[in-house]
Amino acid sequence: MQKLFILIIATSLLGACSQRPNDAVVSAATPTETAQQFIDRVNTEYKDWWRELNAAGWLRATYINEDSGVVEALANERYAAWHTAKVREAMRYDGQDLEPGTRRALELLKGGALMVAPDDDAKRKELSTILTDLGGMYGAGRYCRSADDCLDGNELELRMQQSKDYDELLEYWVGWREIAKPMRAKYERFVELSNEGAKEFGSADLGELWRKKYDMSPQEFDAETARLWEQVKPLYDELHCHVRAKLGEHYGVDKVPQDGPIPAHLLGNMWAQEWGFIYDLMEPYPGVSDLDVDAALKAKNYSPQEMVRSAEDFYVSLGMERLPDSFWERSQFSKPADRDVVCHASAWNLDGEDDLRIKMCIKQTYDELRVIYHELGHNYYQRAYNQQPMLFRDGANGGFHEAIGDAVTLSMTPEYLAEVGLVTSAAQSEQAMINRQMQQALDKIAFLPFGKLIDEWRWRVFAGDVTPENYNQAWWDLRLKYQGVAPPVPRSEADFDPGAKYHVPGNVSYTRYFMARILQFQFQRALCEAAGFEGPLNECSIYGSKEAGAKLTAMLETGASVPWQDTLEKLTGTRETDASAIIDYFAPLMVYLKEQNADRSCGW
């Protein structure tokens, strides 16, 4: 993921300025500068803010303690005052006939925030503190069996990936969710305060404000995500039916009923968001051309830095420059032994120009390697648009930013892995191809409903349709509706299970990931055409294609300077998001799943 701060314009990060909260008083008088002069001034001030907020956020994420929390909260509080003032100034240009670029910059300034504070010093301070606290509570979260036997989130995730013991998985699943219970009251107050700020900015609630950044009305965007979900739902339904049947064979149909949802702790992931770690139970043709990248990484003893170099080499093969020396000096590649950190992978640009970094706790696994390729996609996107004015230094929309690295991982084909020495053979029989598609689908297809429902829950919370009295029930209602999963033990409103997912206490938009899972295949199809590839989409790798790299770079350099539909058209030739590429990509697997499910009762 690209790191997103909680008090930000669009999805970019900021730096240092001497302005204090009481400087935010704005006159309602007629502006004394043109709209473009105002935007030029905002861009200059925005660049100053960029570094400070990033530095404070990086410190907090890589050194969690009371002092770093104070530093981040104060930086966010001061920035919130500046941002509130600038949005109010921007509103004075409403109704004027402006150049498209000026109008777009004003709209990004007004409508792109993930969170806006009320125009009140005390409330702004309270909101900043709440969000810093929530992030710290997640990052420092532990499940403790006893005082001297505690597991952090990273360790629990690893154990969930490795275990196939029903009761052990249940213990970890329940244990991690204990960290979220104390978040409930803080999150409730966060909703109240951020909605108050959103109303001051002309939106009904924070969820409406989030959706405005997609260059369409909230209603149009809701319809767009619903349309895309309907395109991919048949493939998900077939996958769900097959996975449930296989889990029933392994755990017993008493534990996995074949006419209901799947227990949420059995899917190899703490949140049942991606299911790749149960591939050993799902493998269609056991042992056929197993791409054991994990074994190669361990046998060659790849260091975290060497794994990152592998990803960098891919982007360089497309004609892009190597990452700066500072990237290697300042990134967090491993979990420090002496302090708490946020291990959740993220990519950063701390100065808006070339201070690129990633933050991870890298392990020697193929899954981690793919995450690295993904994160570097953010870094190369950040570098590509760093010549744009500050307000345009962002992705065309959040989904684009996530989709770049995801599209690159699609090129990690057996042929590519063999070429770079991570597997010994690229042989791809039809059975081997189905195996690989199953591996990919357990992550990419299984994720789609989860990617959609996170923000749908939040939008309902922000709108007041979901109240604090039914936070948890509404969460599980959506998970049942979209994913067909259910909690393995009864849950109540004493629980706050949404808080056990980083992006909720971290206040990071999630629809971007749903959109990215669609866009990456659409991007891949266009890039493969640019590379001159002829053959099934699932066999294409753009590794080494300067033609594909040039077309990709041209799109990345646009940043947020034009509506995302224009940017999409630049690469793909169409202005509409289309899930047909993902259906085409997984067509062989769909045939296999339908055959397997022929005599099963699907649905839940």
- Active-site amino acid positions: 344-345, 374-375, 378, 402, 503, 513
| Residue 348 dihedral angles phi and psi, to the nearest 5° | -130, 150
Per the DSSP assignment, residues forming a β-bridge with 399 are: none
- Burial letters for 68-94: b for 16+ Cβ neighbours within 10 Å, e otherwise? bbebbbbbbbbbbbbbbbbbbbbbbbe
Provide DSSP, 303-346: -HHHHHHHHHHHHHHTTPPPPPHHHHHH-B-S--SSS----S-E
Find how far residue 530's CA is from the centre of its chain: 27
Instruction: Look at residue 349 and give its three-state secondary structure.
Output: strand
By C-alpha distance, which of 567, 541, 550 is closest to 409?
Answer: 541
Per the DSSP assignment, residues forming a β-bridge with 357 are: 348
Q: How far apart are CA 113 and CA 71, in angstroms?
A: 21
DSSP letter assigned to residue 391? G
**How would you class 175 by CB atoms within 10 Å of its CB: exposed for 0-12, middle for 13-18, buried for 19 or more?**
middle
Q: How far apart are CA 460 and CA 471, in angstroms?
A: 10
Q: How far apart are CA 377 and CA 374, in angstroms?
A: 5
The tokens describing 285, both together, are: 């043709």
Per the CB < 8 A criterion, the answer to whether 69 and 136 are in contact is yes
| Residue 144 dihedral angles phi and psi, to the nearest 5° | -115, 120
